[in-house]
Amino acid sequence: MLEVSKLSVRYGESEVVHAIDLTAVKNETVAIMGRNGMGKTTLFKALIGILPTGGGSIRVDGVEVAQMESYLRVANGIAYVPQGRMIFPNLSVIENIETGLERAADKTIPDEIFSLFPVLHEMRHRKGGNLSGGQQQQLAIARALVTNPKILLLDEPTEGIQPSIIKDIANVLNEIRKLRDITIIVSEQVLSFTMAVADRIIVIDKGNFIHEDLRENVDTEQISRYLSV
Amino acid sequence: MLLGYSFSDWGSILAMQGFAGLSLFSVLLLMALGLAIIFGQMGVINMAHGEFMTIGAYTIYVTSKLTEQYFPAFMPYYFVVAILAAFIIAFAVGYAVEFLLIRRLYKRPLDTLLATWGLSLIMQQVFRSIFGGREVSPTLPQWLMGSWSPTATIDIPINGLFVMALTIVVTTAVLLSLYKSRWGLKVRATTQNRSMAGAVGINTKKIDRITFAVGCGVAGIAGAAFTTIASTGPTSGSQYIVDTFLVVVFGGAASLLGTIASAFSIAQAQAILTFFMTNAMGKVATLLTIIVILMLRPEGLFTSKIRK
């Protein structure tokens, strides 16, 4: 489904992500864990095309997207939930979700979205900027889901969100997997969240993948050691 | 008492100057709408905006001359077609300018300022070369002439009424398309976060190009309105550009309702004050008031309230 090979990303002359390989199949959730500044967000921005690719290839269902602009990658099945949510603060909740319907023949929001996120239905006429952090996170996920993605990228979805809502978000992600055949790539620092959603855990350090394990085999202490400063 | 005017004189003065203010308001608003889309929504400072108005005005002039020469029977109706042509031509030129110039400068606001100012000088010279330095006027259809006198002392020019009606139509169209259409949604999303709009599937470059072109097209319509109240010269548009920026900044850069309110207050203040003072003093008084208000409210009249 998603095949990334030898992907590197640069800011000017300095390479931040070094020739990374990553493959994920249908219905699989992969978590990429690492401390701050290790290249998680950079990797995600390169996958969606906000940062240019420095080299290597990104294939979605066999289609090479590494040289495409963001909107074409979305058309080819990548959806992106950025770190810090980045919802459109001046648009209403409904309008925020509708921005993701660019390729859909029917421009109304599917009912499925509101049954996944009932709170968004309650808040549908509010401006996105007036929602709480957790609600904004759900809005950002909803906005990504309506693009009908094959691959959903979530960059630190639990950052700055209270623990009870973190559990909700984990449940929603698992629900989404049941509803759709979707590949989820999520970057995280919270191990408990990762253990609740991921099939496979990869540790990134200084722009390299240094460790990989299936969830069943994960030694949580070892991962925690990678994550501690 | 009453500066030597009687009460009914006062009524007539206020009505007529108020209406003169409304005509000025109409042209200012049409200009400002285009600029509010381009500057308010996209953040591009387009110093050549006035020249797009001039394009619209010259389009009316050329259409009027062509109609007069080849289809004289069509004279009473040409104006409506000409307004459409003014929009289309200004839109097309705007589209080309965005493609060739503006899109390379989105991240460099100061350079955009200089480049568009240069562009405005070039366009003025082009107008001068094609149409000559002398001001020209289209032959207006008969039904736009004359005036309407509800009382003996009040004279309301028909062309002013027409310009107002045109302004209402265009403003409604712009508001509806920005706030009710899919295009408007994409414009607003792109404005708020360009890279994120791309990441939810919006072709932001295309949106930028069309938005800029629509802003220019609306300026073209402003030019069409302008021909009914004044004659057109190569620098007609540049005389409006300062006032127009004033309207947009005073109204609050991102708010179209603010633009309407501020165009109204600025135009009315100028029209009514210039009756009692000289033209220059009226302008000075308006400007001073605006400066004071902007010092107290730097974000402009209207702002949208969200948590930061």
In this complex, is the C-beta atom of B197 within 8 Å of any C-beta atom belonging to chain A? yes
Q: Closest Cα to residue A168, out of A127, A132, A199?
A: A132
Q: Looking at chain A, how many residues does it have?
A: 229
The answer to whether residue A224 scores a pLDDT higher than 90 is no
**Which one-letter DSSP state was computed for residue A20?**
E
Alpha-helical runs (H) found in chain B: 7-35, 49-70, 78-100, 109-131, 158-180, 182-192, 194-199, 204-227, 238-251, 256-276, 279-296
Q: Are B71 and B290 in contact, with CB atoms under 8 Å apart?
A: no
Is residue B93 within 8 Å of residue B52, measured between CB atoms? yes
| In a domain? residue B69 | yes
Please give the Cα distance from A37 to A41 (Å, whole number). Answer: 8
The reply to whether B186 touches chain A by the CB within 8 Å rule is yes
Q: Is residue B274, in this structure, part of any structural domain at all?
A: no
Of A155, A174, A184, A166, the closest CA to residue A34 belongs to: A155
Interface touch A90/B304, C-beta < 8 Å: yes
- The predicted model gives B127-156 an average pLDDT of 83
Q: Is B75 exposed, middle or buried (0-12, 13-18, 19+ CB in 10 A)?
A: middle
**pLDDT tens column, B94-139:** 999 999 999 898 888 889 999 999 999 999 999 999 998 899 998 8
Which structural domain, as residue segments, surrounds residue B130?
Answer: 16-235
> Treating both helix axes as pointing N-terminal to C-terminal, what angle do B279-296 and B256-276 enclose, rounded to 10 degrees?
140
The answer to whether the CB of B130 falls within 8 A of the CB of B64 is no
Residues of chain B positioned with their CB less than 8 A from the CB of A132: none
Question: Residue B128: inside a domain, yes or no?
Answer: yes
Nearest to A89 among B182, B197, B306 (CB): B306
Q: Does A126 touch chain B (CB under 8 A)?
A: no
Give the residue-averaged pLDDT of B50-70: 94
Query: CB B196 to CB A90 under 8 A?
Result: no
Tokens of A119: 């709170």
Q: pLDDT (tens digit, 9 = 90+) per residue, A121-171? A: 999 999 999 999 999 999 999 999 999 999 999 999 998 888 888 998 999
Amino acid at B250: F
Q: In order of start, what are the domains of chain A with their CATH numbers?
A: 2-227 (3.40.50.300)
Give me the percent of chain B exceeding a pLDDT of 90. Answer: 40
Q: Which of A47, A48, A69, A70 to mutate to test the interface with B (most CBs of B within 10 A)?
A: A70
pLDDT bin (cut points 50, 70, 90) of residue B42 is: confident
| Cα–Cα distance list, B164 to B19, B222, B228 (Å) | 10, 11, 11
Residues B144-149, mean pLDDT to the nearest whole number: 77
- The tens digit of pLDDT for each residue in A31-62 reads 999 988 899 999 999 999 999 998 899 999 99
Q: What kind and span of H or E run contains A173?
A: helix A163-179
Count of pairs with CB atoms under 8 A, one residue in A, one in B: 80
**Beta-carbon separation of A50 and B195 below 8 A:** yes
From chain A, pick out residues whose CB is under 8 angstroms from the CB of B186: 99, 102
| A6–chain B nearest CA distance, Å | 23
Kindly provide the b/e burial profile for residues A60-89, where b requires at least 16 CB atoms within 10 angstroms of the residue's own CB.
beeeebbebebbbbbbbbbbbbbbebbbbb
Q: Which of B196, B197, B306 sits opposite A129 (nearest CB)?
A: B306
Confidence of residue B152 (pLDDT cuts 50, 70, 90): confident
**CA distance to A6, A57, A59, A67, A206, per residue, from A3 (Å):** 10, 8, 5, 15, 21
Number of domains forming the structure of chain B: 1
Enumerate the residues of chain B whose CB falls inside 8 A of the CB of residue A86.
Answer: 193, 196
- Contact yes or no for A88 and B304 at CB 8 A: no
Q: What is the ipTM of this complex?
A: 0.90
> What is the pLDDT confidence band of residue A119, given thresholds at 50, 70 and 90?
very high
pLDDT at B203: 95
Distance, CA of B2 to CA of B237 (rounded, Å): 38
pLDDT confidence bin for A63, thresholds 50/70/90: very high
Task: Locate B273 and state its tokens.
Answer: 């004050």
Roughly how many angstroms between the first and final C-alpha of chain B, as a whole number? 53
Chain A contact probe: residue of B41, B181, B194, B200 with most A CBs at under 10 A: B200
Question: Helix, strand or coil for residue A69?
Answer: coil
pLDDT in tens, A172-184: 999 999 888 899 9
